[in-house]
């Protein structure tokens, strides 16, 4: 209870204060709708919110997987080869500095705006940097004693990576994924503001706000929050499953060529 009760109590109090301010203070809906009106719109448009969340979540998930895979592979190559490290580190930093609002319209012009490929590509670029940085740092934080032991046992570079570097890097790898997962959802939503298919949460938020249906727009925002939380919880679950697995035994057979 010490873990989940304080945030639940704080959230309930915050919603109660929000409702009190909007009702008693007479705050207009275009400034801040009340939680009750947002909940009513969320329940009334649940099917549309679910459909839009599935579209945005699919783009975010595919981009997250692609960006994490490329970032992890680039980190492994950077740790093994110094020339790759010298090339990839500036590229990764430059990719992180590019704003999403600049990439989305360019990719929509470069590729077909009737597909989700530009959105997934933007998400992959956003995910690449935190995964690359955290994985590179994790692969390098290996005890010198363990590396000496692997060299003494005549282990190959792949065996050293599989038995020592990867298990040691998992905490930092999942730290990067915890940062990248919600950012993937944010990137997917932002890219929907710049044209393309009108099936995601971003386009629905813009459409509802343009029609002055502000409670409905906030209901779609609530759907985006739920998707972001699901992505974060999915990474936490994956981390718990992976890190609870027993370490691979280093036996004589492991070094057999």
User: Which residue segments constitute the domains of the chain, with CATH numbers given?
Assistant: 50-245 (1.10.3720.10)
Range 147-178 burial, b when 16+ CB lie within 10 A, else e: eeebeeeebeeebbbebbbbbbbeebbbbbbb
- SS3 sequence, 130-181? HHHHHHHHHHHCCCHHHHHHHHHCCCCHHHHHHHHHHHHHHHHHHHHHHHHH
**pLDDT tens digit at each of 257 positions of the chain:** 777 788 889 989 999 999 999 988 888 878 889 999 999 999 999 999 999 999 999 999 999 999 999 998 988 888 888 787 788 778 777 777 777 777 888 888 888 777 889 899 999 999 998 999 898 888 888 777 777 777 778 777 777 777 777 888 888 889 999 999 999 999 999 998 887 788 889 999 999 988 889 999 999 999 999 999 999 999 999 988 887 755 444 444 444 44
Distance CA 224, CA 205 (A): 10
DSSP 246: P
DSSP 248: P
Question: Considering the entire predicted model, what is its pTM?
Answer: 0.84
Distance CA 52, CA 55 (A): 5
């Amino acid at each position: 209870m010490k873990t989940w009760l304080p945030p639940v109590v704080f959230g309930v109090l915050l919603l109660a204060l929000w409702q009190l301010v909007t009702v008693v203070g007479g705050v207009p809906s275009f400034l801040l709708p009340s939680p009750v009106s947002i909940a009513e719109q969320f329940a009334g448009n649940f099917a549309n919110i679910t459909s839009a969340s599935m579209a945005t979540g699919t783009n975010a998930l595919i981009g997250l997987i692609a960006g994490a895979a490329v970032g992890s592979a680039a980190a492994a190559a950077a740790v093994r080869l110094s020339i790759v490290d010298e090339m990839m580190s500036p590229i990764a930093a430059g990719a992180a500095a590019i704003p999403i609002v600049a990439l989305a319209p360019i990719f929509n012009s470069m590729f077909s705006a009737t597909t989700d490929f530009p959105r997934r590509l933007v998400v992959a670029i956003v995910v690449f940097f935190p995964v690359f940085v955290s994985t590179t740092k994790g692969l390098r934080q290996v005890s010198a004693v363990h590396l000496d032991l692997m060299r003494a046992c005549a282990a190959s570079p792949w065996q050293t990576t599989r038995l020592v570097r990867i298990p040691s890097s998992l905490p930092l790898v999942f730290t990067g994924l915890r940062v990248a997962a919600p950012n993937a959802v944010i990137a997917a939503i932002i890219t929907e503001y710049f044209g393309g298919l009108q099936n995601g949460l971003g386009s629905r938020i813009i459409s509802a706000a343009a029609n002055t249906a502000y409670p409905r727009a906030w209901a779609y925002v609530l759907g985006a929050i739920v998707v972001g939380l699901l992505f974060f919880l999915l990474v936490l679950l994956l981390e718990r499953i992976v890190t609870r697995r027993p370490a691979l035994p280093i036996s004589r057979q492991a070094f057999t060529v």
